Amino acid sequence: MNLEKSLRAANRKLLIPYVTGGVTANWTDYLTAYAQAGADAIEIGLPFSDPMIDGSTVQRASDVALERGTTVAKILAEVSTLDIGVPLAAMTYYNLVQRTSPDAFCRALAEAGVGGLIVPDVPLEEAAELEAAAKDNGVDLVLLAAPSTPPARLAEIAARSRGFIYAVSVMGITGERAALADTAGRLAADLKAATDRPVVLGIGISTAEHAVEASRHADGVVIGSSLMRRVLDGATPDEVRDWLATVRTALDQEFAHSLLA
């Protein structure tokens, strides 16, 4: 399923939940649960031993998954059997991508039905080879923008990103925060001014309240660590679905209000 087309067609604020592939034996049940809760796309983490942009929750999820013998091939094999009606994007680090080759990696994603790819340790300067490989295989390479990104660079990221633009809300790593960072709104606004491609805020979006506040500036949110904390603490797919559904409802209510206003 094409990631960007699908996101552009959604007539609501985008909700993109994250799960670490292989974190539990039944991890794909969380994908189904996310879809039932109203996800517009799902981000699947392909676990790496040295996740540079991840905080302790996703680190732990990655370690647990790797200890279970999780590999990229196993995750993609499981994903390819699913039919949940929601576009999928893989999130991982460049060492896993280049181990075979960017082209072989993107082909494997496409064959498994994963239409997007997020690689946070590949900035613009290093992206050319991966961009070409993703394009050749019909995979949308999502680029990240940060609060520290200067304006000219933001414009280039907006122009070269596919699927959506991942706006990193805070100068920091993944993990739950008490409040939405005040850098989030300005970054989303600057990106919205630079592109008509969906702008999605992620990192530190921990609660329904954060999601609602972020959605006032951006087209949607990625929620990762607060979900993975629940999964690691043993929450069932149904329990996680019910919590995520409250975020969906809050986003939809806010969106309805904004249309009326």
Among 23, 41, 75, 145, binds other proteins (CB under 8 A): 145
50 binds other proteins (CB under 8 A): yes
164 binds other proteins (CB under 8 A): no
| Cα–Cα distance, 250 to 98 (Å, whole number) | 40
Catalytically annotated residue among 43, 190, 213, 219? 43
185 binds other proteins (CB under 8 A): no
* Closer residue to other proteins (CB): 8 or 153: 153
**182 a catalytic residue:** no
Check residue 124 and report its DSSP letter. Answer: G
* Closer residue to other proteins (CB): 10 or 124: 124
CB of 247 to other proteins, least distance (A): 25
Read off the tokens for 234: 């043993």
Among 33, 37, 39, 173, binds other proteins (CB under 8 A): 173
Which residue type does 149 have?
A: T
Sole window of 25-33, 92-100, 189-197, 244-252 interacting with other proteins (rule: CB under 8 A): 92-100
CB-side neighbour CA atoms (13 Å) of 131: 13
Check residue 53 and report its DSSP letter. Answer: T
H helix runs in the chain, sequence order: 3-9, 27-37, 56-67, 72-80, 94-100, 102-111, 128-136, 151-160, 183-194, 208-215, 225-232, 237-260
| Cα–Cα distance, 146 to 70 (Å, whole number) | 30
146 binds other proteins (CB under 8 A): yes
Which residue type does 12 have?
A: R
**126 a catalytic residue:** no
149 binds other proteins (CB under 8 A): yes
| Cα–Cα distance, 173 to 258 (Å, whole number) | 31
What number of chain residues touch other proteins (CB under 8 A)?
A: 41
**Interface residues with other proteins (CB under 8 A)?**
48-56, 59, 63, 66, 71-72, 93-96, 98-99, 120-126, 143-150, 153, 157, 168, 171-173
Catalytic residue set:
43, 54
